[in-house]
Amino acid sequence: MPNYLVRLVQMHESFRQAELQALADVAEVSIEFVKYEEESPFCIVRLPSDAAAKTVISRSLLSQGIYELWGQGATYDALHESVKDISSAKWVQYESAPFRFTLDCFRGTRDNAQQRDIIESFSYMGFKGPIRMRDAEASFKVFEEYEEKATGPKYAYLGRFVAASGRDAKTTYDLKKRHYISTTSMDAELALVTANMALAAPGKLFYDPFMGTGGFPIACAHFGAMVCGSDIDGRSIRGTGGSARKGQTGKFDVQGNFKQYGLESRYLGAFVSDLTNTPFRLLQHSNSASRGGYLDGIVCDPPYGIREGLKVLGSRDILNEQERATHGNRYKDPGYIPPKKPYSFTAIQDDILAFAVSTLVENGRLSMWMPTANDEDVELIIPTHPCLEIVSVCVQTFNKWSRRLLTYRRRAESEVPEGALETVKKEYEKGVKADELNNFRKKYFEGFKEFERLRQEPSAEDANHKADRSKGVSGPWREKSGAN
């Protein structure tokens, strides 16, 4: 299989390899990583063909394009050696084609004269076709990688352009231009990456149990999936709750968002429901032969209990007879609002996994976001289920907390060891207040004190910094971050 160079973006590093792998999975091609480093935007993979490379990369958000690798080396001498060695047989093919030659320096720059010299140094390849900076038939690029503040490159590659990535979608779905959003809408780029991880594709059925204004379903629909969603707050679906956009009034709803992007035909609709009392039909393990799963993928960003309360149906205190009777009499009134109570943060994670197990088809995927404090090892526990295999864990780090995109694959029944389903009933946080139930929330509003303390302990001079911080200007809740 030929080697290809993927020009990645140098951000969301931990997502990049997982995304490429997912895209190869959804395209059903084999991908082999020859060279991948978190610090480098250049990744070398082995793929069966140009066509496969194009299929894989065209959906990618975290890369810019894919190139057939024509040579590589730590110096230009080595690079030229390698080009002659690997690709000399291909030169003749492009001998008379209109072509272009460009340079891509990572962490470095080259002025025009230098660029020209570098490009000229490849003249031995003998291209006689016209040079066209637009619509060239063959496009070549020299990639240089520099160390921080270094004067010369530490490594260089030559590649022939094969296909561009699907990163444009990031601009198309930019939240700034979306009609209807809320305070906790996931940015378009990561929502699209999430859809990639979950293998959204034409013909598949996807569901988001915490849809809000529909960001994830829209991202999945972009890749061709048919989508539906639900939320415990019907106002966010019907759009009567207003929008987070400044000055925006009037009716904007999830349907309208799909309309904005011309994806209405992929929107199956939404309903109001609570995950802990879901209306979805659940696989009954006693008669699993008769009714299997039906969702191809579940994508979600559950409320973290910070900007959006983590609430489920129920009352804080057990209702007495009279109260129950009142609910029974009143629930059909038009203005009736069912009571809701704060819920355990760890319990909801396990509930999502259990729900996914009961509704996903075999090999269906669950991609879910979960926040965690950076200071606490206890929080690093990734929820697991015997019927789900962890495919990838990607981390987006903020200052004092991070959030992770966890992707699971629904195992086939035959892969699940017998008796694995009879797992121990877990003990969850007890209490009625949000803080008692949600350790992450508690830490968040305490400003991650533990983290601060640990960070300041090593040196004494930090006392000054502490004073600075206590002014309150940069309190944790003021920090710009996407805490849900």
- In the complex, the residues that contact another protein under the rule CB under 8 A are 202-205, 226, 228, 230, 232, 234, 237-238, 264-266, 268-274, 277-282, 284, 291-292, 294, 296, 313-315, 319, 323-325, 327-328, 330-332, 336, 338-339, 361
Nearest approach, Cβ of 252 to another protein (angstroms)? Answer: 14
Residue 324 neighbours by CB under 8 Å, 6+ apart: none
Residues 122 and 99: their CA atoms lie apart, in Å, by 13
Q: Which is nearer to another protein, 152 or 269 (CB)?
A: 269
- Residue 212 Ramachandran class (φ > 0 left, ψ -120 to 50 alpha, else beta): left
Residues 55 and 219: their CA atoms lie apart, in Å, by 18
Nearest approach, Cβ of 328 to another protein (angstroms)? Answer: 5
Nearest approach, Cβ of 56 to another protein (angstroms)? Answer: 20
Nearest approach, Cβ of 208 to another protein (angstroms)? Answer: 14
Q: Which is nearer to another protein, 88 or 273 (CB)?
A: 273
Q: Which is nearer to another protein, 113 or 318 (CB)?
A: 318
Residues 250 and 414: their CA atoms lie apart, in Å, by 52
Q: Residue 131 gets which letter from DSSP?
A: B
Q: Using CA of residue 413, residue 419, residue 420, residue 421, what is the dihedral sign?
A: positive
Nearest approach, Cβ of 438 to another protein (angstroms)? Answer: 20
Q: Which is nearer to another protein, 203 or 419 (CB)?
A: 203
Phi, psi of 431 (to 5 degrees): 140, 175
Instruction: Kindly report each contact of residues 275-282 with a partner whose C-beta sits within 8 Å and lies 24 or more positions away, as own/partner.
Output: 275/209, 275/210, 275/232, 275/312, 275/348, 275/351, 275/352, 275/355, 276/312, 276/313, 276/343, 276/348, 276/351, 277/312, 277/313, 278/209, 278/355, 280/355, 280/358, 280/359, 282/355, 282/358, 282/359
With 0-12 CB in 10 A as exposed, 13-18 as middle and 19+ as buried, what is 193? Answer: buried
Nearest approach, Cβ of 381 to another protein (angstroms)? Answer: 27
Residues 442 and 235: their CA atoms lie apart, in Å, by 27
Nearest approach, Cβ of 298 to another protein (angstroms)? Answer: 13
Nearest approach, Cβ of 237 to another protein (angstroms)? Answer: 6
Nearest approach, Cβ of 276 to another protein (angstroms)? Answer: 9
Residues 54 and 24: their CA atoms lie apart, in Å, by 11
Q: Which is nearer to another protein, 15 or 223 (CB)?
A: 223
Q: Which residues of 132-170 are buried (b: 16+ CB within 10 A; e: fewer)?
A: eeeebebbbbbbbbbeeeeeebebbbbbbbbbbbbbebb
Q: Which is nearer to another protein, 21 or 315 (CB)?
A: 315
Q: Residue 85 gets which letter from DSSP?
A: H
Nearest approach, Cβ of 148 to another protein (angstroms)? Answer: 48
Q: Which is nearer to another protein, 17 or 230 (CB)?
A: 230
Q: Which is nearer to another protein, 116 or 330 (CB)?
A: 330
Q: Which is nearer to another protein, 142 or 356 (CB)?
A: 356
Q: Which is nearer to another protein, 207 or 444 (CB)?
A: 207
Residues 453 and 375: their CA atoms lie apart, in Å, by 10
